[in-house]
Amino acid sequence: MWYGSTRDDIRLVHLDIEITSKCTLKCKHCANLMQYYPEELQRHEDTDAVVAGIDALMAAVSWIDEVYVLGGEPFLHPALDEIVTAIAQYKRKIGYLCVASNGVATADKKAVAALRAAQIPVHITEYPRFAQQQAEACRSLRAQGAIAELHTRQWTLSTQCTVGTPDTFYRACRHALSPCVTLRGAKLWYCEFAANAYALGCESDCIDLSAPVDKSRIYEYLDPPEPFAACEFCSGFSGVTVDPAAEQCESPLRWQP
């Protein structure tokens, strides 16, 4: 959370709205742990649950600096247009809002129309090995009147860490002041790692926003006094190393919770 947040004035640095664990790629160092998902665990989040979660969270917070709608690959979700329309109504509370895509998926016309109407950009992370496909995806979106941006980022190894303690990583993450608060369906998670680690069998706690929740409960959850179980498997931005962008797995890696 932002410094200065109170129980009555909750301000977030970052929010990921994760709408699917299906993806067109299987990146070895995906921060969302998609590389560990076997086919039987890959699924789209229920659209009604996503919208309900968005409404409940936005009613509770005063401001979010940046919001990313992502996956997996968000363009695979059949109701991306409905989700985009649902979050767009809260743009007054959001500093930067985008849909994050790998650019290796075809955007359907309904999704593009919703993005164009809401003026929400598509953020495509540049992967050198898929540069041609990504450039074409960017051109196609722009030709249809949508906003599309290519971004370069540094890939780091931050998952399945074995050196250190949960407390060490938890304190490093909090020091960075940027936990990736994550909404999956109507459930709110402290970070994307905890949300995906839970789906893969790791113990973790979340808040179910499908039922009424007091602001104080959300505030306390987002300012935890001790590590989550998932912190045992995350580097917490501590001692990360750079890895090849979008290096692909031949098959899902084995998660060992």
Burial of 187 (0-12, 13-18, 19+ CB in 10 A): middle
pLDDT score at 9? 93
pLDDT-wise least confident of 35-44, 76-85, 150-159, 203-212: 150-159
Question: Could you confirm whether domain 11-242 is CATH 1.10.600?
Answer: no
- Please determine, for residue 96, whether its predicted confidence score (pLDDT) is greater than 90: yes
Length of the chain, please?
257
Question: Quick one: tokens of 65?
Answer: 């600096």
Q: What value does the mean pLDDT take over residues 14-27?
A: 94
Q: What is the pTM of this model?
A: 0.90
Nearest to 182 by CA among 88, 43, 48, 45: 45
Q: What value does the mean pLDDT take over residues 100-115?
A: 95
Q: What value does the mean pLDDT take over residues 38-56?
A: 95
In Å, how far are 3, 32, 173 from 169, measured between CA atoms?
Answer: 20, 17, 6
77: Cβ–Cβ under 8 A, 6 or more apart, which residues?
A: 19, 20, 22, 44, 45, 47, 71, 83
pLDDT tens-digit series, residues 224-254:
777 777 777 666 555 555 556 788 888 888 8
1 versus 57: the higher-pLDDT residue is 57
pLDDT score at 227? 76
- Please determine, for residue 102, whether its predicted confidence score (pLDDT) is greater than 90: yes
Q: What value does the mean pLDDT take over residues 60-73?
A: 95
pLDDT score at 155? 57
State percent of the chain over pLDDT 70: 82
62 versus 163: the higher-pLDDT residue is 62
For residues 54 and 87, the answer to whether their CB atoms sit within 8 Å is yes
pLDDT score at 128? 85
DSSP assignment of the chain equals: --TT-BTTBEEEEEEEEE-BS--S--BTT-TT-GGG--GGG--BPPHHHHHHHHHHHHHHEEEEEEEEEESS-GGGSTTHHHHHHHHHTTGGGEEEEEEEE-S-SPPPHHHHHHHHHHTPPEEEE--GGGHHHHHHHHHHHHHTT--EEEE----EE-BS--SS-HHHHHHHHHHTT---EEEETTEEES-HHHHHHHHTT-----EETTS---HHHHHHHTS-SS--GGGGGB-TTSS-EE--TTPBPSSPPPP--
pLDDT score at 257? 59
pLDDT score at 163? 47
- Please determine, for residue 135, whether its predicted confidence score (pLDDT) is greater than 50: yes
Distance CA(86)–CA(70), nearest Å, equals 15
Domain ranges of the chain: 11-242
pLDDT score at 172? 63
pLDDT tens-digit series, residues 189-220:
988 888 888 888 887 889 999 999 999 999 99
Average pLDDT, the chain: 86
pLDDT score at 5? 83
